[in-house]
Structure 1
Amino acid sequence: MINMNNIYLITDIPGYTPQVSRLLSMMNYARYVTLEMTKNLTVQQLDFLLDAKSNSIGALLSHCAAVEYAYQVETFEKRDLNEEEMLIWGAAINLGDEGREKIKGNAIDYYVNTLNEIRNRTFELFKTVDDEWLYQEEEFWYKKQANHYFMWFHVMEDEINHRGQISLIKKRTLG
């Protein structure tokens, strides 16, 4: 749902309230940069590990999708991922040994399609809420109060953080 004509505008998006639009605009730009950074990577580059404890670019892309899905479930359905969902997303959420073992051998299209599928669902879910919803507070990490705005900011911030790792790995694998 990235509108390339408006990628540099933090603005209203038809069908969404003003603050929701701005959040989605920022998330779109963050995703655009992630996709541009990884668009021509080979399977070998996506699977490259800096060392025995690092994550691959493919695993980090999967992690971005998994985090976004987990926040969809947490903020819109008010629950944690269930056992079936953890079978799908667990390695991508946990990364580490599990991620290194299970997330490999996929072409960039696999990761892009997964990211797009999850993002499309995010856009559909955000059509059901308004700006007031963004400011609703609930208990979050370590029993602290957080609002939905912060939670979804964190989804974007997490992707940007991992994109820094992707940049480092890409520089090491491409020379």
Structure 2
Amino acid sequence: MHNDKLYLITDIPGYSPQISRLISMMNYARFTTIESVKGLSVDQLDFLIDSQSNSIGGLLLHFAAVEYAYQAATFEGRDLTEEELARWGAALNLGEEGRVQIKGNELSYYMEQLDAVRRTTLEWFQTVNDEWLYEEEPFWGDQPANYYFMWFHVFEDEINHRGQIRMIRKRCEVTG
């Protein structure tokens, strides 16, 4: 991600025009997420506001897990395997499972997961064109949705949870 193009929703070499614009938006969302977690310690990444909340680390891994799941669904037309669910399930589900399993990791661990999944997404996006974005499938209770919406949802979910991250960060700085 080149910061000199951060505020441009434009063509990106190697990608079709609409996919370029989608990636531009995904890049900005990820940049702001990374900015919101810079310098956090393991304790801050694991901090829970209460017994029902998610940690910042859990939410970061959730972003990677959601993107990974959408890779499988949209590019490969499949659900996650049992092996993939063993790796990503706690991050997809969050809640108690996430609170128990996602902790004790340095910020670099989460950044590596996010980066690895995003690199794969970018590779996949090079294999499709704008027409692919408009392919439709049943989604959320058999509602029609296209891949454009599904990939919009990937970063819309990140933006939504980033608000939680910012609130959690403020709370753990006050109590820490």
Partner residue in 2 for 1:133: 132
Count of residues paired in the alignment? 174
Partner residue in 2 for 1:15: 14
Give the AA of the match of 2:24.
S
The CA distance in 1 between the partners of 2:74 and 2:21, in whole Å, is 18
Segments of structure 2 that go 5 or more residues without pairing to the other structure are none
Give the AA of the match of 2:56.
I
| Identity of matched residues, % | 64
Q: CA deviation at 1:39?
A: 1.5
Task: State TM-score, norm by structure 2.
Answer: 0.98
Partner residue in 1 for 2:75: 76
Partner residue in 2 for 1:65: 64
Q: CA deviation at 1:99?
A: 0.3
Determine helix, strand or coil for the equivalent of 1:10. Answer: coil
Give the AA of the match of 1:159.
E
Task: State TM-score, norm by structure 1.
Answer: 0.99
Determine helix, strand or coil for the equivalent of 2:39. Answer: coil
The CA distance in 2 between the partners of 1:111 and 1:39, in whole Å, is 11
Partner residue in 1 for 2:26: 27
Q: 1:49-60 to 2 correspondence within 5 Å?
A: 49-60=48-59
Segments of structure 1 that go 5 or more residues without pairing to the other structure are none
Partner residue in 2 for 1:102: 101
The ranges of structure 1 where at least 4 consecutive aligned residues each deviate by more than 4 angstroms after the TM superposition are none
Partner residue in 2 for 1:36: 35
Partner residue in 2 for 1:119: 118
Q: CA deviation at 1:60?
A: 0.2
